[in-house]
Structure 1
Amino acid sequence: MSQEQMERLTTLLPDWLETSRLHTSQGKVASYIPELAKSSQDALGIFIADSQGKVISAGDCGIPFTMQSISKVFTLILALMDHGEEAVFFNVGKEPTGDDFDSMIKLELVEPGIPFNPLINAGAITVSSLISGENPQEKSERVLQFFRKLAANDKIDYNLAVYESETESGHLNRSLAYFLKQNGIIKDPVDDVLEVYFRHCSIEVNCADLARMALVLAFDGVDPCSGEELIPRRYVQIAKTFMITCGMYNASGEFAIDVGLPAKSGVSGGILTMVPGQYGIGLVGPSLNKRGNSIAGVHLLERLSKEFDWSLF
C-alpha cells in the first residue's frame, strides 16, 4: 500500500463508512437462523490489510460474526487439496444457477442431479462430505485448523449457539442433503455431513480475520507476511473464479459490474473480498438486501472500488 493511498484511505474511509451505514435501514437482518436475528442492524465495519502488515480499519470491525457461506470458499479449497479437481468436480458443477442459494429446483430438473456449483448450499453440503477424516469430528477439526492457519489466529472457534440454531432450524438444508443422498451424490450419513457443514458455517471471526484470509487468496495462496505457501495456486485460481461468478449469490453479475472484485458473502453480513496482489478486505454489515448480501457493505465496496480503480475489469 503506497503512502499516498494509505493516507487517502485513512482520511476518507471513516466518512464513507458512515455514509454507507445510512443504507442499513433499507435492509433486514437474517432471521431464518434464529440466532442471527440478534445481530445489530446498523452495524458496519471494514478492515483492509496489505502484504507489508499495514492495516486500515473503520466502524464496527471488531464485532464477532459467523462466517456462514464465506466458509464455503475455504472448504472447497480444502476438498481440492484433499482429493484434486477431478474427484471434486465429479460431484459438483462449475456454473452459476441464477436461483436462490438454497434452491432445490435445478437438482430436480438437471441430470445427473449434481449441484451447479460449490457455493450454493447443495454444493457446499456436497463439498463438506468430501473433506477427509474418519468422522465428522475429525473433519470439522481439520477445517477449523485450516481456517486458523489462513487467518493467523489460533483462537478462532465455533459459535456453538449459532451451530445449534442452524442444526435445529436447518430443515431445507436437511432436505437438500437427503435429495443428494438419494441421488448418490453424498455417500456418508446425512447427519454426519450436515454436522460438518453447520459447524464450518458457524465458525466465528471478525473483519481482521477475514482480511487476513483474503490476503492469502490475493497473493495466490502464499501468506505474504511469512512467505509460506498455504494453498496451491491452481486451487486459489479456481476459488477466485467461483467468487466472481457465484460468490455474491444471484447478484454476482451485478457485483462484478459495480465492484469488479472476487468476493464471498454470508448471511451474517460478512463479505470477504480482495484486490489481487494488493489487499485483503474483511467487512461486516448484518443488514441484508433482498439477495442476501450486506446492503451497506456492498455500497461501501462499490465506492471504494470506483474511487481507487480496483475493478479487475
Structure 2
Amino acid sequence: MGFDLSDLQTAVAEHGQVTRVVIADIRGSSPREVGAAMLVWDSGQSGTIGGGALEFEAAETARRQTQPTVLSRHALGPDLGQCCGGAVVLLSEIYDVTRVAALDQEVIVRPTTTGTTDIPLSVQRLLNVARGSGLPPEPQLVDGWMVEPVHKPNRPVWVWGAGHVGRAVVDVLAPMPDLSVTWIDTGPERFPDKIPAGVTSLPAVQPAALMRHAPENAEHLILTYSHALDLELCHQALLRGFSFAGVIGSKTKWARFRSRLAALGHCPMTVDTLTCPIGDPSLGKHPQQIAIGVAAQMLRPALHVQMKKESHA
C-alpha cells in the first residue's frame, strides 16, 4: 500500500477540493492497515479505511475540516463501539490543485503539525536506508512525520478480449491497487463506452502483433471471441515469455491447442506453461462467475500452479 497519487489527482480535478484520510498508526486490532486511505469531498467519497463507524465518522469530520492537516486518535471500542479492540491514528489532509501539484516525490514525507519544517534525523535515516536498499519504505508515522511511498502498480496484466467475459474480468481486476491492466481487442467499438479508471485500452486490427510489446513479466488473460486468435495469442505469448498466461476454454479446446502449438514448434514442456481453463470452472460459466474465479487466481499466485496441474490432469 502506498500514496495513490493518480487517484488523488483525478479526484481533485473532478471535485476541486478533496480531503485524504489515511491510517497513520495502529495500536492493537484495526479493520485496515497503516497506509489505507480514502478520499472525501462534499458529495461523495472513494476508497476505504475499514468501513463501519470509523469510516463514517472520519468522512463526516473530513467534510467539516477547515485546517489543512489534522491528526486524530480513535479508540475503536470505547469511542466508536466497534468490535476491534485497538486504536488508530488518522491523518486528514485537504488537497487542492496547488497542493497536489507539489507532490512530485517518489516518497511523500510531510509533518503532521503546522509550523514544522526540519525533517527529523529518524526520518532521514529511514529514507537513506530505503535509497540504499532500492526498496520503498513502508507507510508509517515517524516522530510526527508521515512517510508514504507513491503507489505504483507492479503487476502488469494484459487482458485480451472485450466481450462479456473480458468486461467482467476487467471490472473485477481494475480496482485492485497492485495491478496495471492493459485491455486489447480488435477495434474501439468492442470496448464499453466507459473504461474503468486506471485501465489502458488498446484497439488493434491485429491484436497478436502487440504481444511483443508486453513486458516479459506480464500476466496474460486470453478471452477473445475467436479460437484462431486465442491460438495465435498463445503462440506469440510463448515466443515472448510471461509471468502467467491463461486461456478461457474447455479441456477439449485445450487438447486441440496443445496439438496445434506443438505443430508450431513448441515442445510439450513449454506449452504446459500456459494454463487452460483459467479461474475456477466449478463456480459456473456466467461472465461474473468466471471473473471471480480468475480474480481469486490472480490474488493467490500459488493457485497458478495448482490450476495448471489440475488442467493438465
Instruction: Give the TM-score of the pair, scaled to structure 2.
Output: 0.22
Structure that is richer in helix per residue: 1
Higher relative contact order (CA 8 A, sep 6+): 1
Structure that is richer in strand per residue: 2
